[in-house]
Homo-oligomer: A and B are copies of this chain.
Amino acid sequence: MTERCVGDLAVQFGCEVQGDPETRVSRVATLANADGASLAFLANPSYRVQLEATAAGAVVVAEADADAVPSTAIVAADPYLTYARMAGVLYPSPAAQPGIGPGAQVDPTASVDPSAEIGPNAVIGAGSVIAAHVVIGAGTVVGRHSTIGEASRLAPNVTIMDDVVMGVRCVVHSGAVIGSDGFGIARGPAGWERVPQVGGVIIGDDVDVGASTSIDRGAIEPTRIGNGVKLDNQIQIGHNTVIGEHTVMAGMVGIAGSTTIGANCAFGGNSGTTGHLSIADGVIITARCTVTGDIDAPGTFGGVFPHEDIRSHQRNVARYRQLDKLARRLSALEKRLKDNENTE
């Protein structure tokens, strides 16, 4: 934790201060639970009601809300983004502690930059390259012939398999697995046979990979994750997937193999796609929606039935099962009425 003067923060991020620029903040807090040493923010209008009573030393707000701040307002065009950046100043990521931790095993043919931190009991395999300022967490394994780009941070117990190329400033959370074999099987006379998966994984710069997310290596050509892609926890990315720049996915999304997804897309939680699809730039898929065909232009797509009282749900499901019959009965009725009208 670092104490900062509000005026300095405002200068650093191009904001106006309304109130006392000498106010010092050392932590972040919600409006409701802040104290005088806290920086808070207002971005979601539903929290507007908490603004007037906040004890926060300073609050990042839009211009329209500045007068309602009881202490010092930091006026920003985008309060949430500005808050995020200021919080990054108050809580900087710990710098890499250069060196090889106790119990870590680094293959003699691996190359580890002297500024990199290799955590306790981590393992770096043959021919892999760990660039400057990289942090490798405790118990994390990097396989063979993989590259971790500058200033990327791998949390503890991450697994990077062979032939993975990762860009700079990536963050990978615990339990994530990158470069495991794609699910390629061919039916033989005596059972399923494995199809060798020899494409690697190429991950761009500034990519985040959430806890226990898995990204399979390609069957022949690499699986590709574009610059700035942000993946939440427990996501499954099948082999040969291509994800365009700045696309984001919430937790538990599943992308079946060989699907190409554009840039600047957003996938809601536990949404997914079948395989061999093509999805345009700027597509938004809402939570739990299943994409079963190509999407050729930007747009928002859905496909989930919200919860309902179990009795009404059961009734509606039963009716749904009769939908085809209901539609036929409706057509028959229309015809009969028309016949009646004609004969009158």
Contact = CB atoms under 8 A, between A and B. Distances in A.
Interface stretch (A15-23, A62-70, A183-191): A183-191
B191 A206 contact: yes
A59 interface: no
| Among A185, A216, A305: residue with most chain B CB under 10 A | A305
Nearest to A107: B120
B308 A302 contact: yes
Contact of A161 (B174, B212, B340): B174
B210 A180 contact: yes
A96 interface: no
Interface string A70-108: 000000001011011101101100000000011101000
A224 interface: no
Contacts of A295: 307
A138 interface: yes
Nearest to A101: B105
A196 B290 CA distance: 31
CB-based closest 9 A-B pairs: A191-B228, A105-B120, A159-B174, A302-B313, A180-B211, A292-B306, A319-B323, A141-B156, A84-B195
Interface of A: 27-30, 33, 78, 80-81, 83-85, 87-88, 90-91, 101-103, 105, 119-121, 123, 125, 137-139, 141, 143, 155-157, 159, 161, 171, 173-175, 177, 180-181, 183-188, 190-196, 198, 206, 208, 210-212, 214, 216, 220-221, 227-228, 230, 232-234, 236, 238, 245-246, 248, 250-252, 254, 256, 269-270, 272, 274, 285-293, 295, 299-310, 312-317, 319-324, 326-327, 329-330, 333-334, 336-337, 340-341, 344
